[in-house]
Amino acid sequence: MRHTDRYFVFLLIGVVTVLSIVVSEKSFARPPQIASANTPIALEGERIYVSPFVLPIENGVILIRDGKIAAVGGHGKVDVPEGTGELDCRGMYVLAGFQNSHIHFTQPMWNDAAKLPAAQLAQQLEMNFTRYGVTTVVDTGSYLPNTEAIRNRINSGEVAGPRILTSGSPLYPPDGVPYYLKNSMPEAIWKQLAQPKTPAEAVRIVDETIDGGADIIKLFTGSWVARGQVVTMPLDVAEAAVNEAHKRGKLVWAHPSNVAGFQIALQAHVDVLAHAVEDLRGWKASYLRQMKSDGMWMIPTLALFSRDSNIADIMQEVDDFADLHGQIIFGTDAGFLPDFNPTQEYLIMQRAGLTFNQILDSLTTAPARRLSESATRGQIRVGMEADLVVLGKDPQQDISNLADVLYTFRQGRIVYSLSNQ
Ligand SMILES: [Zn+2]
């Protein structure tokens, strides 16, 4: 109910930048060493969780070359060429890199990202993402040019960090800016947030957002305009936005809030619910079946709702959807929530009834399927991107071990190493 984007106001239009954190470069540790992507490297691990759908490989070896997985197999079954670097991961657990599909680059620490000292930016990306094994993030609401600046500095190789996909600024219903945003920014600013009144206006905003570099579109189909009060996006506006995004080859994430907001998302054929439905008054079990048959996916964000009085019902909603083989992808709303540590989300997903393999799917293979990237990401297979996480303890024994990260690799390079800390 107290959802999203509170901090993204600080970035809007560059007006409110007073909270920019000024920290000298010297006060930060150097960013983790980025080894040359051309150096082949072999990892030998206690257990390799290739994917949630096959048995793990015990005492396995992964050969990484040119940023890709060149070979994977049991000890003695992988030909390791001479001159290959070796990383001894015996006693450790190796998984494909994780994707957090609901975050925001909106806290003051990201302000003026183009000008942040490189060591500081690298440190922030490490503290918030790669130290938790996150190699891809989906930002679902931020100031697009600023997020682009972070992405450009990562993609150029200047700083290590996750792959970033972003929605830029979301679209809200008419007079539908959430109260928690209004409360934290001047009226002149929140009035400028995109609140299309007509389908034509929605199409124009979607085009502008995609032309500006957005990878997905984010809609508030239901928006908390006051505590206990949701305003929904008109169906024709939501439909026009979704159709235009799909025409441009982009997926749409939506914030439903309540049953009415969920129904707009469903009828408009939104691709991903950015949250479970929070206010379940009027909810019917048949809605989940409709969602499943319509191909809509869900990001539960259960930790966000953990203090809601109806959290048990929201957990049940997520478990029921999983039982229907509904598609669940992992996301935390970090950036709105101040804590980037995903452990709580892992624990609550498990408490809701999800298995280790379902949670691993939500972090790896499911987002790859959703983004049509299954051929290149989400599993430890030959030819795939060498985005990997090395854990100190077995996550199948204790789900919180998913956050016990020793190394994170992105495209074959170590972007986080606990031993460097
Ligand atoms: Zn959010």
Residue 185, pLDDT score: 80
Q: pLDDT averaged over the chain?
A: 91
Q: Which residue has the higher pLDDT, 238 or 106?
A: 238
**Can you give the pLDDT at residue 38?**
66
Instruction: List CB-based neighbours of ion ligand 1 within 5 Å.
Output: 4, 333, 336
Confidence check: pLDDT of 420 > 80: no
- Distance (angstroms) between ligand 1 centre and the Cα of 231 equals 17
| CA 142 to centroid of ligand 1, rounded, Å | 9
**Ligand 1 geometric centre to CA of 99 (Å):** 15
Instruction: State yes or no: pLDDT of 304 exceeds 60.
Output: yes
Sign of CA dihedral 72, 76, 81, 83: positive
Distance from the alpha carbon of residue 195 to the mean position of ligand 1, in angstroms: 17
24 has pLDDT over 50: no
Is the per-residue pLDDT at 239 higher than 60?
yes
Tell me how far the alpha carbon of residue 45 lies from the centroid of ligand 1, in angstroms: 36
Q: How far is the CA of 175 from the centre of ligand 1 (A)?
A: 19
Ligand 1 centroid to Cα of residue 299, in Å, is 11
| pLDDT reading at 18 higher than 60 | no
Residue type (1 letter), 167:
S
pLDDT of residue 37: 52
Residues with Cβ < 8 Å from 78, sequence gap 6 or more? 42, 61, 62, 63, 71, 72
* Strands 57-65 and 41-49, bridge-based pairing: antiparallel
pLDDT digits (tens, 9 = 90+) for 331-384: 999 999 998 999 999 999 999 999 999 999 999 999 999 999 999 999 999 999
3-state DSSP assignment of residue 244: helix
Residue 159 pLDDT greater than 70, yes or no = yes
Which sign does the torsion angle of CA 334, 142, 322, 394 carry? negative
pLDDT > 60? residue 23: no
Q: How far apart are CA 156 and CA 77, in angstroms?
A: 36
What CATH number is given for 41-97+382-420 in this structure?
2.30.40.10
The listed CATH number (1.10.10.60, 3.40.30.10, 3.20.20.140, 3.30.1490.190) that belongs to domain 6-25+99-370: 3.20.20.140
Q: What is the pLDDT of residues 73-86, one digit of tens each?
A: 999 899 999 889 99
Kindly give the distance from the C-alpha atom of residue 67 to the centroid of ligand 1, in angstroms, as a whole number. Answer: 31
Cα(200) to centroid(ligand 1), Å: 26
For residue 296, the one-letter residue type is M
In this predicted structure, the answer to whether residue 35 has a pLDDT above a threshold of 60 is: no
**pLDDT at 28 exceeding the cut of 60:** no
What is the pTM (predicted TM-score) of this model?
A: 0.91
Span from the CA of 90 to the centroid of ligand 1 (angstroms) = 38
Cα 118 to ligand 1 centre (Å) = 26
Q: What is the mean pLDDT of residues 286-311?
A: 97
Can you give the C-alpha Rg of the chain in angstroms? 21
- CA torsion sign for 102, 405, 58, 355 is negative
Q: What's the pLDDT band for 13 if we cut at 50, 70, 90?
A: very low
Q: How far away, in angstroms, is 316 Cα from ligand 1 center?
A: 21
| Look-up of token digits 């949701």 | 230
Q: Is the pLDDT of residue 12 over 80?
A: no
Q: What is the identity of the amino acid at 44?
A: E
Could you tell me the pLDDT band of residue 419, with boundaries at 50, 70 and 90? confident
State what percent of residues in the chain have pLDDT above 90. Answer: 84
Measured in angstroms, how far is the CA atom of residue 77 from the centroid of ligand 1? 45
CA 312 to ligand 1 centroid distance, Å = 21
Q: Phi, psi (5° rounding) for residue 236?
A: -65, -30
Compute the distance from residue 181 Cα to the ligand 1 centre, in Å.
Answer: 12
pLDDT number for residue 183 = 85
Say what the pLDDT of residue 184 is. Answer: 78
pLDDT(7) > 70 = no
Distance, CA 256 to ligand 1 centroid (Å)?
11
37, 413 Cβ separation under 8 angstroms: yes
DSSP collapsed to 3 states, 1-22: CCCCCHHHHHCHHHCCCCCCCC
**CA 313 vs CA 210, 280, 318: distances in Å:** 36, 8, 9
Q: Is the pLDDT of residue 17 over 80?
A: no
The C-alpha torsion from 54 through 60 and 61 to 62, rounded to 10°, is 30
Å from CA of 103 to ligand 1 middle? 6
Average pLDDT over residues 86-113: 95
State the distance from the centre of ligand 1 to the C-alpha of 4, rounded, in angstroms.
Answer: 4
Whose structure tokens read 């054929």?
Answer: 269
pLDDT of residue 213: 96
- CATH 3.20.20.140 residue spans of the chain: 6-25+99-370
Q: Which residue has 């190493």 as its token pair?
A: 417
What's the CA-to-centroid distance between 333 and ligand 1, angstroms?
Answer: 5
Residues of the chain with CATH 2.30.40.10: 41-97+382-420
| CA–CA gap between residue 406 and residue 421 (Å, rounded) | 10
- State the burial class of residue 188 (Cβ atoms within 10 Å of its Cβ: 0-12, 13-18, 19+): exposed
For 334, phi and psi rounded to 5 degrees? -60, 140
For 36-85, how does the pLDDT look when each residue is reduced to its tens digit (9 = 90+)? 556 799 999 999 999 999 999 999 999 999 999 999 999 989 999 988 99
Average pLDDT over residues 143-162: 97
Cα(102) to centroid(ligand 1), Å = 6
Is residue 2 scored above 70 in pLDDT?
A: no
pLDDT at 11 over 90: no
> What's the distance, Cα to Cα, between the start and end of the chain in Å?
37
